[in-house]
Copies of this chain bind each other. A is one copy, B any other.
Amino acid sequence: MNPLTLEALQVLDAIDRKGSFASAANSLNRVPSALSYTIHKLEQGLGVSLFQKQGRRSVLTTAGRHLMQQGRELLTASDTLVDSTKQVATGWEPRLRIALDTIIPAEMILPLINRLYEIQPNIEIDLTEEVLGGTWEALDYDRVDLAIGAIGNAPGHKGIRCFDWLTVKSAFVATPGHPVCRHPQPLSDRIVMQYRSVIIRDSSRHEAPLSRGILNKENFIHVENMEQKIQAHRLGLGIGFVPHFRVEQYLQKGELLNLSVENPYTEEPLQIGWKMSNRGQARNWLVERLKLIKVDD
């Protein structure tokens, strides 16, 4: 049986901060003998003496100092736990883990999160970037509470709720100097297949990766996320589809060209999804604001 109590740690802490049993007792609205009692009980329980007499005062032993110092961490952890429990009780979860599909740039939802912080300053936000299947998987395996911008269908079986969110136009891009530009448009699959394309690696860890837009090509470069893919296109490393709204600036400046192709992307809406078992207010609040976001494109 653990002889330690948080109350005893508070006493230990107060004695150290105030410098004496007397003033510690005063600050705790108790009487010195009450603290003596608490400390003796703890010493007896541990079988370790925490104070030793030095003149008319008691000073901490090495063990006492160790217990006091480490105990403070326990005390703050305990305070934090009380806070977060109260927060949970109000329906606001103390932590919200979000998977952001790489199609969506963080800048798009960070302002929302800032507004969330204004309402719940202590909430802990954990943002993860995921790719394709990885976005649903993160939700499915309870790595996150909310998935933003997932593509395709939610993993059916489990209690997942989702809805269609944005529909993002795709652009097939290449640099102006790229040899693919010399072909007549719209480009056929046969032509497209001749050039290196840029592919984002699926971030699924368990399920089979979703493949998107991979036309059985031998010629491709794998990258980690959408930002890398866009930069790869911009620097002429390959050709391929990207969300139109994310390359608008480059199209306007002429750094990239939007080529027409025979088989354009079938436009599927991005999804927002969460576990039905999660009834957190923060998740709910975010979902409601996300519904208002539009892409003018």
Contact = CB atoms under 8 A, between A and B. Distances in A.
A184 interface: no
Number of copies: 2
A222 interface: no
Interface in A66-98: 66-67, 70-71, 73-75, 77-79, 81-82, 84-86, 88-89, 94
A2 interface: yes
Contact of A74 (B46, B78, B279): B78
Interface in A33-63: 46-49, 61-63
B46 A4 contact: no
A279 to B, nearest CB: 8
A208 to B, nearest CB: 33
B6 A81 contact: no
Contacts of A66: 84-85, 88, 94
Q: How large is the interface on A (under 10, 10 to 19, 20 to 34, 35 or more residues)?
A: 20 to 34
A7 B78 CA distance: 13
Contact of A5 (B7, B47, B77, B85): B7
A264 interface: no
A3 interface: yes
A86 B6 contact: no
Nearest to A47: B86
Which of A47, A86, A88 has the largest number of chain B CB atoms within 10 A? A88
A28 to B, nearest CB: 10
**Max count, chain B CB within 10 A of own CB: residue among A66, A71, A79:** A66
Nearest to A280: B62
A138 to B, nearest CB: 21
A89 B70 contact: no
A1 B211 CA distance: 56
Contacts of A63: 85-86, 88-89
A40 to B, nearest CB: 16
B62 A88 contact: yes
Most chain-B CB neighbours within 10 Å: which of A4, A47, A79, A84? A4
A37 to B, nearest CB: 17
Given A2-B6, A4-B82, A71-B81, 19 more contacts: A2-B78, A2-B79, A2-B82, A4-B6, A5-B5, A46-B89, A47-B89, A48-B89, A62-B88, A62-B89, A63-B86, A66-B84, A66-B85, A67-B81, A67-B85, A67-B88, A70-B85, A73-B77, A74-B77
